[in-house]
Structure 1
Amino acid sequence: MQTLAGRYQLVRRIGVGGMSEVWQGHDRVLDRPVAVKIMAPAVEGTLGEAGVDLIRTEARSAARLAHPNVAGVHDFGTSRGACHDVPYIVMELVDGQTLSTHLRAGPLDWRIAARIGAEVAAALAAAHAEQVVHRDIKPANIMLTPAGAKVLDFGIAAAIGARDPDPDGMVMGAPAYVAPERFEGSPATPAADMFALGTLLYQCLSGRLPWRAETPTGMVRAACNEEPDPLPPIDDLAPEVAALCRLCLNRHPDDRPTALVAALVLAEAVDARVYVPMGGIEPAPMAEWIDAPTGRANPDRRASERRW
């Protein structure tokens, strides 16, 4: 059984991604279970020091967020590999299943979808308050646990306003959840995360993506040029939830709500509680941003949002 830094025993592999593996581990010093994210053997030799920097950046981004809806980071280090130092992150071991696993059975009850959306939005509000944009919000990166939703994988997170390392290269993130402006070269902003949240919420409510396309390229083209399909009829769906979903999917980033607004609107719709960074500011009433009886955006919402 492999042990990292003489402390973290790797027990069994529980996840595999494009660049990394996640293992269930055991912290021998504190005698507790942990999750260990380590560079996949297939890529560790090709990235070298850049791979160490990438994993270190992820660890620092997540470690800045002490929030109940973000998987906590305990440690970062490197372990000597065959040819290179292999970076790893030690994280909270989250007990649950990913949202993508749950969605295989079809759409969720709208109240559950709204609660998940509220908790993900609250996590994003905390990240944005720390000037961090996640850039990869999607069902596979949301873990549903008995204590609520947890946002995982800050592997491609960036500082607000940061541009991609290669402006002419591939845009970071899963194409179906990437905001249209990102394909036009715009830097990472909180509004891009909100587009991804809108896509995720739409998928939870309807069981499918907001645009119909056969290929990732077709999905990108549709999101950049077409309006999303209307949500199907959903019994008793709160109009403000439908409105919030629609506004998050707006092609214009300035017309999307903030994560803080989304968290509070969705939580109020299902009478849930979320932890959001208020910064000492008293929030404006929901009615100033979304008209609950009609579910339509308040025409003065931009002025209202500046107060948050």
Structure 2
Amino acid sequence: MTPDGPTEAVPTQPRWAELAAHRPLQADDPREVGGYRLRACLGEGGMGRVYLSNTPGGRPIALKVIRAEYAADPAFRRRFEQEVATAQRVQGLYTAPVIDANPHSEQPWLATAYVAGPSLQQAVGVYGPLPAESVLILVAGVAEALQSIHAANVVHRDLKPSNVILAADGPRVIDFGIARAVDTTSVTQAGIRVGTPAFMAPEQVRGQPATPALDIFALGSLAVYAATGELPFGGGLDPAVPYRILEEEPDLATCPPQLRELVTRCLAKDPRQRPSPVQVIELCRQASTGTQLHMGDGWLPPAVAAAVSRIAVTPVPPVPRPPKRSRFRVAAAVGMAALAIGSGVGAAAIAGAFDEKTPGQSTPGTSAAGGGSKANSDDPEVLTRVDAVDLALGNGVNLAEPTTMVRWEGSPDIAHIYDNGISFSNAEVVLLDDDQTGDHRTCVTDTRYALTTKFDDVVVGTKFCVLTAQRVALVEVKKAPDPGERSQYYQLAITIWRA
């Protein structure tokens, strides 16, 4: 069955490369974990980094290395071991099964089957909402995955667009059950709930025991996002989202009529009124305009399908081999550095021969951050200065060195996830006045921080400081989305110092 709606032409220069999340391994990435040689980094989320590797027989796998703060918690390790053992029993056509793990290593890890394709969040962020028929097929596939997950006595707890991968033959659900392991850590005991607020069920917001029904609620929100690019209760860091989930009806104004009965039933406040996965699949069949729900070729719109097929054959960046140590190489490097400094050539001209750089990145100290902002002479050394970061809808920026990275997974420090706003996570943020100097000192001494921030209708010239545990950043808006344009993106100039 071909999704309805007008035929979408594949762009002459496809944007599929924006969805290929492989990046070369960097200095702080391990080269081997649990006997698996790592080939590239696939992304980073709240629980850890995910790497591409292979089984001894050559099959690709996604290997997640758990963050150090969780690894240091004995309660997490115990729960992680239990949950991995349970998750290994999940066998379904629409899941990425757990095939190996080690909860006892210095940093626990687990490996799942690798699925070649973008996440739903990536696909919608780059190509826009999916046609209604594609959404019905997507929801039916995810419901079948939940059926397999729940049959193993696992509740996903964090079903969201970044945890659903779009493959050529249907969706795959990843990261199932592992979120439960976080529940026993000192982090959650301090009051942080597991899950993504916009996809939480009312009982999850209240902190009540998790049941399979909360995954169905998240599936309803996921369906709305897939069909509209929006969320039924709002999103980002809007503090009113939990209240709306508890007290208000979902906003389905832009949801296609074909999906509304399905979505409304999934988003019932009372978990007892939500359909089971089997009933969700039947609702999808009833709402479909075709004779049956068909996975495989044609279930995705042409542009996304073309992107998926290209990602499947995209070569992985080679892992750079460390240079041979020799007195000649060291002397040559010193000579090149002296030449670059003496001639005014930026150090990036040297480093570029060895490291992949973000487009638009300049060398610390060689250019202004835009808009005439001058760094104070007492400021610490600039780690990174990027004059033009294009932050498209659905993308986020990570401020970690060695460079800013535009990415989709996890909770990026600066995000453009929803229409008409820039959101922040894991950060303190202060909006600078027009007469304030954009420098490190201003950023660290201004105390008007906001821990929960979403800036709507940010205009060109707006400057703000973003402070994370490791970084201090000055951000200036160089371009803001024009409602009349199809491509909705901000262009940011970013200067980063060590915190």
Percent identity, aligned pairs only?
33
Q: Decide whether the 8 Å contact of 1:213 with 1:222 is kept in 2.
A: no
- Is residue 61 of structure 1 aligned with residue 86 of structure 2? yes
Q: CA deviation at 1:77?
A: 1.9
Q: State which of 90, 104, 123 in structure 1 corresponds to 2:145.
A: 123
Other-structure match for 1:11: 39
What one-letter code is carried by the residue in structure 2 that aligns with 1:228?
A: P
Q: CA deviation at 1:228?
A: 0.9
Other-structure match for 2:265: 247
Partners of 1:156 and 1:75 in 2: how far apart?
14
Once the two structures are superposed, residues 90-125 of structure 1 have per-residue CA deviations (whole angstroms, 9 ceiling, x without a partner) of: 211110000001111332100111111111111111
Change (3 A) 1:14 1:215: closer
- Aligned pairs for 1:215-294 (under 5 A) are 215-232=237-254, 234=256, 237-238=257-258, 241-270=259-288, 271-272=292-293
Partners of 1:213 and 1:8 in 2: how far apart?
37
Partners of 2:266 and 2:140 in 1: how far apart?
13
Q: Decide whether the 8 Å contact of 2:142 with 2:171 is kept in 1.
A: yes
Q: CA deviation at 1:233?
A: 6.3
Once the two structures are superposed, residues 214-244 of structure 1 have per-residue CA deviations (whole angstroms, 9 ceiling, x without a partner) of: 744211111111111134263xx53xx3201
- Aligned pairs for 1:7-156 (under 5 A) are 7-27=35-55, 29-40=56-67, 42-43=68-69, 46-47=72-73, 49-77=74-102, 85-104=106-125, 105-154=127-176, 156=178
What one-letter code is carried by the residue in structure 1 that aligns with 2:69?
A: V
Tell me which protein shows more helix as a share of its residues. Answer: 1
What one-letter code is carried by the residue in structure 1 that aligns with 2:155?
A: V
Change (3 A) 1:155 1:16: farther
Partners of 1:242 and 1:35 in 2: how far apart?
35
Partners of 1:123 and 1:205 in 2: how far apart?
20
Q: State which of 180, 185, 192 in structure 1 corresponds to 2:214.
A: 192
Moved more, 214-223 or 180-189: 214-223
Q: Report the count of equivalent residues.
A: 259
Other-structure match for 1:2: 31
Partners of 2:227 and 2:169 in 1: how far apart?
21
Partners of 1:245 and 1:46 in 2: how far apart?
40
Q: CA deviation at 1:39?
A: 1.7
Once the two structures are superposed, residues 131-172 of structure 1 have per-residue CA deviations (whole angstroms, 9 ceiling, x without a partner) of: 21100000010000112100011254559xxxx546772221
Unaligned runs of 5+ in 2: 1-29, 296-499
Moved more, 146-155 or 29-38: 29-38
Unaligned runs of 5+ in 1: 275-308
Partner of 2:78: helix, strand, or coil? Answer: helix
Q: CA deviation at 1:58?
A: 4.1
Partners of 2:270 and 2:70 in 1: how far apart?
39
Partners of 2:247 and 2:215 in 1: how far apart?
19
Partners of 1:202 and 1:143 in 2: how far apart?
17
Partners of 1:36 and 1:86 in 2: how far apart?
12
Partner of 1:229: helix, strand, or coil? Answer: coil
Partners of 2:255 and 2:155 in 1: how far apart?
33
Instruction: Give the TM-score normalised by the residue count of structure 1.
Output: 0.76
Partners of 1:118 and 1:137 in 2: how far apart?
14
Partner of 2:92: helix, strand, or coil? Answer: coil
Q: CA deviation at 1:44?
A: 5.8
What one-letter code is carried by the residue in structure 1 that aligns with 2:263?
A: C
Other-structure match for 1:281: none
Change (3 A) 1:167 1:89: closer
What one-letter code is carried by the residue in structure 1 that aligns with 2:72?
A: T
Q: Rg bigger for which structure?
A: 2
Q: Decide whether the 8 Å contact of 2:159 with 2:199 is kept in 1.
A: yes
Q: Decide whether the 8 Å contact of 1:132 with 1:158 is kept in 2.
A: no
Partners of 1:211 and 1:34 in 2: how far apart?
35
Partner of 2:275: helix, strand, or coil? Answer: coil
Q: Decide whether the 8 Å contact of 1:107 with 1:204 is kept in 2.
A: yes
Partners of 1:185 and 1:77 in 2: how far apart?
29
Change (3 A) 1:18 1:155: farther
Partners of 1:158 and 1:44 in 2: how far apart?
12
